[in-house]
Amino acid sequence: MRVVTWNLWWRFGPWEDRQKAILTTLRDLRPDVVGLQEVWAADGENLAEWLAGELGLHWAWAPSHAPERWRRRIGGAPVDIGNAVLSRWPVAETAVLPLPAPADIDDGRPALYARLAAPAHDIPFFTAHLTSHLHASAVRRDQVTALAAFVARHRGGTPFPPIVTGDFNAWPDSDEIRLFGGYKTAPAVPGQVFLDAWEYADPAAPWATWDAANPYVARGGAPSARIDYVHVGAVPGTPVRVRAVRRAGDGPVDGVWPSDHAAVVADLTD
């Protein structure tokens, strides 16, 4: 099973040209399931719906409950933002969690759960987008605590481990990632542990998903970092394994970089 997570940079930059580059990249990857963040919807159109139609996939969507701050950044246009899931298998159930944040930085970031009706077992799949404020590690810890509880509520009824994807806006050694993983510190939900798929990557492979080589990133002067994740539940006795993991969407397509983030691609096997 091929899992992809990707932040699509909403309606920023040359978004119409980027949309074509996003589709080309996903078409080449041929994913089974995709977790997407910063997905736009406006005027009866939805980027996730369009991608799903072009790729022959099922889809689910969770809009932000507070998009006003996002809209101000593009001049106030009435464009919605949210998370989405694309899936080769039907989406049997969904739920949405508004991630907690103080009022002064709350821009309505959600987590989306989709139960995927795969042939052998249902797959509990999640995608989330945590706050990006550099100083807000404590907020992200609260968010991953809420996310872990959300996963625990919806992961049951199938032997397949939960898969949690997303833009966590946090370095791998940060408190919030250690808390969510639960194997370098006590887990947010007792007994619930997630493995970072990138631990199985080639150590020499390019690793930054927020990469200063990307012109959209370089203009802000931020350092390169790995802030996007595929987390696989570590369930005793479950034979799901990470076979390979790498970046994608990490260069221009027909002269256009698809997003300010690179995607993470994880191949799982059982």
Question: pLDDT tens for residues 130-152?
Answer: 999 999 999 999 999 999 999 99
Has residue 210 got a pLDDT over 80? yes
pLDDT given for residue 91 in this prediction: 98
Number of Cα atoms under 13 Å in the Cβ half of residue 66? 14
Question: pLDDT tens digit string along 9-33?
Answer: 999 999 999 999 999 999 999 999 9
Please indicate, yes or no, whether the overall pTM of this predicted structure exceeds 0.95.
Answer: yes
Query: What confidence tier does 237 reach under pLDDT thresholds 50, 70, 90?
Result: confident
Predicted pLDDT of residue 239: 74
**236: pLDDT strictly greater than 90:** no
Give the other-Cβ count within 10 Å of 138's Cβ: 11
How far apart are alpha carbons 16 and 153 in whole angstroms?
Answer: 38
What integer pLDDT is reported at residue 105 of this predicted model?
A: 95
Least confident of 160-169, 204-213, 237-246, 250-259: 237-246
Judged by DSSP in three states, 247 sits in strand
- pLDDT band of residue 100 (cuts 50, 70, 90) is very high
Q: Would you say 70 and 42 are in contact if contact means Cβ atoms under 8 Å apart?
A: no
DSSP-assigned letters across all residues of 129-147: E----TT-HHHHHHHHHHH
pLDDT value of residue 222: 87
Residue 235 has pLDDT above 90, yes or no: no
More confident residue, 237 or 119: 119
Task: Give the helix ranges, DSSP H, for 34-160.
Answer: 47-55, 68-72, 137-154
Residues 6+ apart with CB under 8 A from 87: 32, 33, 34, 57, 58, 59, 60, 114, 116, 125
- Helix (H/G/I), strand (E/B), else coil: 114: strand
Residue 248: what pLDDT?
98
The model's pLDDT over 175-196, given as tens digits with 9 standing for 90+, comes to 999 999 999 999 999 999 999 9
Q: Average pLDDT in the 104-114 region?
A: 97
DSSP character for 222? P
Mean pLDDT (whole number) for 239-265: 96
pLDDT score for 155: 97
**Cβ–Cβ contacts within 10 Å for residue 14, how many?**
11
Mean pLDDT of all residues belonging to the chain: 97
The confidence band for 126, taking pLDDT boundaries of 50, 70 and 90, is very high
Domains of the chain in start order, with CATH, are 2-269 (3.60.10.10)
pLDDT-based confidence at 238, cuts 50/70/90? confident
The burial class, CB within 10 Å (0-12 / 13-18 / 19+), for 93 is middle
Task: State the pLDDT at residue 74.
Answer: 95
Residue 205: is its pLDDT beyond 90? Answer: yes
- 58-67, 75-84, 166-175, 230-239, range with the lowest pLDDT: 230-239
